[in-house]
Amino acid sequence: MACFATNGEMTVRRDIRTAAHLKTVLNNWAGGHAMIGIRSLAVIAGIVLGTIGMSLEGIAFSQAPPACNSPTGPFCNAVVPPPAGWPGRVFVLNQTYPATAPADSQPWLAFDPTNQPDQYIKAVLAYFYEGNIQPDVEASFDPTLNRVRGWYNAPWQDFGTNGREPIHGLTRERVSRPFELGPQQSRAWNNYAVGFYNALGATTIGRVWADHGNPNPSLGAMPEGTAAAKLLFTTAPASEVPYLQGSPTWNAYIYANPNDPAPKPTSLRSIMQVRLLQIDVAVKDARVGAKTGWVFGTFVYGGGPGGQQGAGWANVAPVGLMWGNDLTQTNLNPAVHMPHVGYQGRLNGPVDNAASSCLSCHSTAEFPAGVMIPPAGADPAPWFRNIQSGVAFDAGRQALDYSLQLAVGLTKVQAIMARGYPPLHRTAGIDADEWLYYPSPGFVDRVRFTDGTIASVQREPAPQ
């Protein structure tokens, strides 16, 4: 399960020299990104200028603020628009989160994940595929076309260099380093992904984000039967990763240099084809509630190196399944031989970090945000505990029930985009851990941050 949740982080240029230079850069950038509004530019400007010791005074921007991602408006589909004249499909965030989920089948319940892992994970994949596979590969996994069940997307995956592109809503994921995908992979390749929740999971997303300007992480518990899935695509060619031959391809408006491990907001984008590499699935299942309450699984296209050749969406093989972080609670497919899995043989997918595991990094989904991967030199043991659903990774924080997509949405950048830049006469800057907003005469909203994420929002009389 890919653990790369920096979509909300803003990466900015470090070579800005003057306020005038910044204004030129940002206005040029905005000219090619029509949906980027003044607030977006103010965010970037504030981060850059805060780094180099300038102020925003005297900098004007020509773009109007976006109508989306405001406290009263819809969530953005993507803040990066498609290229001018693009004739193809564009991504529409399915944000019609239901208050209650309709009755639906749960075919995985026919199998015990602890001793029937292959049947279990294939039942979850079939559930995800049902109604999502279309004759047109580009139209597949468009929730508006699914006539069987609803699938929904988490909001606020838009910003920064890893934010959604506009064709399929793909976010940029962890880079695959040479030989991580196979022995013929000689270069690093960028990867992209899009995630979905079934209706049960979407009810939680809707509750957390009922107030678009003031999300409530205390409502982040997912109901039993929640299913999540993620399609991961790579820019790597079949010449370096032969088992990708026949893999479904999508067009995506992504960074034109697929080997660049650290693109900038100003890096050139182009329409490129990406290939299906990995599929992640996760199910909340009370039968493993004594361990974590969740079952995670991962598929690789073509069965990985030396796997069976084929074509289309069906030619994927399970890498394995896990329901706990103990080594005995991972079941790996002996027919799949990837260059790496997770830490000490735990489950992880080909895109993922070998120092972690599916359940390990997702167990850090909490508010304020946790540290997903054990830092170099740290004792890794805390990251490989069995943490039950509803329990936070770090004491005193709010658990987000293994949902990193919820966790990603609760950052400073999101606060700026929802509420605007805080008034400078009362807030020291965006690096401050406390911001004041003036929602009405005589009152302020005091927004406090911990580790860069919103810790509390309190309305009180305005200071004199």
Q: Is the pLDDT of residue 37 over 50?
A: no
Domain boundaries, position 232: 74-415
Q: Are residues 112 and 197 in the same domain?
A: yes
Q: What is the mean pLDDT of residues 370-386?
A: 95
Residue 63 maps to a domain: no
Establish if 445 belongs to a structural domain. Answer: yes
Query: Is residue 65 included in any domain, yes or no?
Result: no
Residue 128: helix, strand or coil by DSSP? Answer: helix
Q: What are the backbone dihedrals phi and psi of residue 278, each rounded to the nearest 5 degrees, phi first?
A: -145, 145
Is residue 397's pLDDT more than 60? yes
Question: Per-residue pLDDT for 31 more than 90?
Answer: no
341 and 441 within one domain: no
Helices (H), 330-439: 358-362, 404-408, 412-419
Highest mean pLDDT among 1-10, 306-315, 420-429: 306-315
Q: What is the pLDDT of residue 431?
A: 64
Q: What is the pLDDT of residue 7?
A: 40
- Does 15 have pLDDT greater than 50? no
Answer whether the bond into residue 368 is a cis peptide, omega within 30°: yes
Model's pTM, two decimal places? 0.81
Q: Rounded to the nearest 5°, which phi and psi values hold at 425?
A: -75, -15
CA–CA separation, 44 and 37 (whole Å): 11
The lowest-confidence range among 220-234, 266-280, 390-404, 449-463 is 449-463
Alpha helices in 34-131 (DSSP H): 38-52, 117-129
Report the C-alpha gap between 269 and 276 in whole angstroms: 20
The predicted pLDDT at position 275 comes to: 98
Same domain for 458 and 369? no
- Average pLDDT, integer, range 238-264: 97
What is the predicted pLDDT for the residue at 418? Answer: 63
Q: Does residue 374 form part of some domain?
A: yes
Mean pLDDT, range 135-147, rounded to an integer: 97
Examine the domain organization and report whether 188 and 263 are in the same domain.
yes
**290 and 395 belong to one structural domain:** yes
Percent of the chain with pLDDT over 70: 81
- For residue 410, what pLDDT is reported? 77
Q: Is the pLDDT of residue 262 over 90?
A: yes
- pLDDT at position 391 is 97
pLDDT of 433 reads 79
Q: What was the pLDDT predicted at 299?
A: 98
Q: Are residues 363 and 434 in the same domain?
A: no
CA neighbor of 5 nearest in space, from 386, 244, 356: 356
* 351 and 440 both lie in a single domain: no
Q: Yes or no: say if 195 and 226 are a contact pair by the CB < 8 Å rule.
A: no
Q: Which amino acid appears at position 265 of this protein?
A: P
Task: Give the 3-state secondary structure of residue 294.
Answer: strand
The DSSP symbol for 221 reads: P
Cα 409 to Cα 414: distance, rounded to the nearest angstrom: 7
The answer, yes or no, to whether residue 12 has pLDDT greater than 60, is no
How many domains are contained in the chain? Answer: 2
The strand order across the sheet containing 453-461 reads 434-440, 443-450, 453-461
For residues 71 and 419, the answer to whether their CB atoms sit within 8 Å is yes
Predicted local confidence at residue 73, as pLDDT? 86
Contact 155, 205 (CB under 8 A): yes
Residues 458 and 442 in one domain: yes
Pair (226, 242) in one structural domain: yes
Q: Quick one: 293 and 381 in the same domain?
A: yes
Q: Are residues 428 and 320 both part of a single domain?
A: no
C-alpha 80 chain-centroid distance: 16
Give the chain's mean pLDDT. Answer: 85
Same domain as 430, residue 341: no
Asked, for residue 440, whether it belongs to a domain, the answer is yes
How far apart CA 302 and CA 306 sit, in angstroms, is 9
